[in-house]
Amino acid sequence: MTKHLQRDLEGLERRTLFLAGEVEEAVRRSIRALLDRRVELAERVIDGDDEIDRHEVELEEECLKVLALHNPVASDLRFIVACLKIENDLERIADLAANIAERSVSLAERSALPVPPRIREMVETCARMLRQSIEAFVRGDAALARRICAEDAQVDQANRLIIQELLAAMHREPACIDEAVELISVSKNLERIGDHATNIAEDVVYLVEGDIIRHRTKRAPGEQAPAGGRSGPSAR
């Protein structure tokens, strides 16, 4: 690896981590806005979405520039591809956080129907998955990434149960239908955040091991990871 390529790869890593931090903060604020009925936090998330979009575009442009300038191969190419895919998932997570923030504003104006406990549990799981997927990227930790992937089914199941619970509440109390619909939307957005956190974890496995695990829940028995993995631009 040339000195210039090494420098540019490290720059991509810094930009990716900066974007991840912005997105994680947006998710955290949207969740607090929902649970604490804090409209001002929700509005900060909504207003900040355009800035996150700008950072995402800048990161994509930098990735394409490095591809064009250096024509990287092997693990360096995997790193750039992983950054491209991760930044796309991060941008989508930010959009979902803005959606939750919008629902939070609407619910704060009504606040007749309490947030179901399962949503609070789902919030904790999704926030942890997002945080750990970024940790896995930083550390080049494929084992952690695979554990995150395994949690996605738990989030999907929670979403189904929440929707069933809210539909039952709508039948019992027709007056709460509007609030229940908003909370169903929150649950679906959380489920999608879990999906995108899983995508990031899958990209980490690809980065470290060169193994594409998308659409697979686990490696086949006896299957070995390809040689030549990397954990980041500083790997040799």
Instruction: Please give the residue that has the higher pLDDT: either 220 or 92.
Output: 92
Supply the mean pLDDT for the chain: 89
Whole-angstrom Cα distance, residue 236 to residue 234?
6
In this model, does residue 232 exceed pLDDT 60?
no
Q: Determine the CATH number of domain 3-209.
A: 1.20.58.220
In this model, does residue 185 exceed pLDDT 70?
yes
Instruction: Please give the residue that has the higher pLDDT: either 219 or 53.
Output: 53
Q: What are phi and psi of 209, to 5 degrees?
A: -110, -10
**Percent of residues, the chain, with pLDDT higher than 70:** 90
What pLDDT is recorded for position 229? 47
CB atoms within 10 A of CB 120: 12
Model confidence pLDDT, tens digit, residues 65-107: 999 999 888 889 999 999 999 999 999 999 999 999 999 999 8
Tell me the mean pLDDT in the region 198-202: 97
Q: Are 116 and 183 in contact (CB under 8 A)?
A: yes
Q: 41: which 2 tokens?
A: 């936090």
In this model, does residue 231 exceed pLDDT 90?
no
Task: Give the CA diameter of the chain.
Answer: 67
Q: Any idea what DSSP says for residue 140?
A: T
**Percent of residues, the chain, with pLDDT higher than 90:** 77
Query: Can you give the residue ranges of every domain in the chain?
Result: 3-209
Nearest to 16 by CA among 227, 210, 203: 203
User: The whole model's pTM is what?
Assistant: 0.88
Model confidence pLDDT, tens digit, residues 8-47: 999 999 999 999 999 999 999 999 999 999 999 999 999 9
What pLDDT is recorded for position 221? 37
Residue type, 122: M
CA distances from 215 to 88, 198, 210, 225 (A): 18, 11, 15, 17
In this model, does residue 236 exceed pLDDT 60?
no
Most confident region among 120-124, 185-189, 222-226 by mean pLDDT: 185-189
pLDDT band at residue 110, thresholds of 50, 70 and 90? confident
